[in-house]
Chains A and B, each alone.
Chain A
Amino acid sequence: MSSVTQIAPTPVAPVVTRPRSRKRLRKAGWNVLGLLVLAVMVFPVYWMVSTAFKPGHDILSYTPQFIPTHPVLSNFTDAIHQQFFWNAVKNSLIVTSVVVVLSLVLAFLAALALAKFSFYGRKPFIVVILGVQMVPLAALIIPLYILMSRVHQVDKLSGVIVMYLTFVLPFAVWTLRGFLLGVPKELEESAMVDGATRFGAFVRILLPLLGPGLVATSIFAFIQAWNEFIIAYVFLHTPEKQTLMVWLASFTTLRGTDWGPLMAGATLCSLPVIIFFVLVQRKIAFGLTAGAVKG
């Protein structure tokens, strides 16, 4: 045995290291690729933020400046003092918060019906929910405009809210239904036997367990409503009623684009989405139902 162990390392060593180094190389290759993808994703954001801090002549200079050497805040003050900024902030907040809240409430109830009750036509309904999401938005703009103008909802925030809901709800219902199906039906049955009403069982047992689903849905609804441009642009004419995304477009005029304040405004507009995400993302904890039933 001892003689074997003495000679063993020499022939074995190169055989082992070669695949190992190849493996390491491959890993490094994937990492580089990952970094490249990250760079492509991050660069526009970086360019937006850095441009927001550059003085005008730096922005328009033919040699690109990757790092703002003389950072200024004037772009931000210009953006904030631009006409209708605070109107747009208010409008965006109203539209977004109403869409998020309404979509959560409506989608929860709809998902409940789809997940927990059997009724005639349930399956086709579920398929239709999925199907309508596949229709391209551009194809719907004109018919929707006609429809909304007939019910006098053009150039009104309420009209835009309704429109956003129609786009957010199918996804929200679909997502929440999936989460609801993951909750064993014995939980609400048990609650009902224990003395809760059917609605009480929904609110006390199902709703808390649906946390991650509600968070996922709310993030989706928030991003959709906050970032949406085309519908808002088409439907909201009066400057006082426009949302932030439409307001951003006002930096592009017939005489050219005011890049500095536009980028500063865009940076400001991105902040709420990031803040909202940071606030709620901790709640996306899966496996909340662990321990309910023997797994």
Chain B
Amino acid sequence: MIKITEKSIDVKKIIDTVSSLSAGALNVFIGTVRNNANGKNVLWLEYEAYETMAVSQIRKIIEDASHRWPLLGWAVSHRIGTLKPGEVSVVVAVSTPHRKDSFEACQFIIDSVKEIAPIWKKEVFEDGEEWISARPEMAFKA
């Protein structure tokens, strides 16, 4: 299951979709919104996605992962819209026969999603806002 959603992510539901009777391991990564960046308070984050491309790129990542690890179940769900500190922004879950594969596959998937999925976030502070990583060695706007 691949989902880009404005609604809050139900982690339990995702675990249910990847669970399998032949699995001996189920690994879940939960990304959450931090309340600080470079010593400044983050009020909220604005997430944006190029949805059709995000889904197709994540599908490729899953295909890659399926060739490398024996995935029995998998799910990737990413929030978009306005998220406050503490909220879940992304969940990756995989199930495999043994635990080592589940750790490796889960890490590979979240790392790849962060690297290639066309999803962006903007941090909003008390005194300004900034698209993350957009500019080289970005100076903080005071």
Partners in one complex: no
